[in-house]
Amino acid sequence: MSEYSPLKLMARSGEDITMLSALLQDALLASADMQYIAPEKVFVCLLNRYCREAEKDAPQRRLCGLKIGQVEKVQTRQIASEKGQFYNLLSIGYVEAENLLILTFSGGAAIRVYIGEIMLTLRDVAEAHPSFARPVHG
């Protein structure tokens, strides 16, 4: 369906996080598709991202994996444990003074990820598929 190559990106700075945040804006995340693996110090999630690189084509989405390394602690706000709950990612912010990543979702939900250093990897894991609509921001 898509003529675009799968993304494989790494973030190692605050500027890199800004770029990843823009790419992942409007990604959909199911509560069942996120996990903090404390012994490995990683937080992983599977997102259904809106393909901004294909903006001129019909709307598309693509499954991608996000891995955050060097994780010290994870806190959630308004994130349900029910498997059928979905969240719309608005942004990923970085608070340098606290070594803190904040994943902010529509509706007030958020995930705070305290890290030892910036170590994020984003990788597309499936082919693009049609999306029902383009995201709209008011």
- The helices-and-strands tally (H runs, E runs) of the chain is 1, 10
Residue 117 domain-assigned? Answer: yes
Residues spanned by the domain of 36: 8-126
More confident residue, 77 or 56: 77
Q: Please report the pLDDT score of residue 90 as a whole number.
A: 97
83-116: pLDDT as tens digits: 778 999 999 999 999 999 999 999 999 999 999 9
Distance from C-alpha of 4 to C-alpha of 26, rounded to nearest angstrom:
19
Residue 12 domain-assigned? Answer: yes
Q: How many domains, the chain?
A: 1
Distance from C-alpha of 9 to C-alpha of 114, rounded to nearest angstrom:
21
53-70: pLDDT as tens digits: 776 778 889 999 999 999
How many Cα neighbours within 13 Å face the side chain of 72?
9
Per-residue pLDDT band at 4 (split at 50, 70, 90)? confident
Residue 91 domain-assigned? Answer: yes
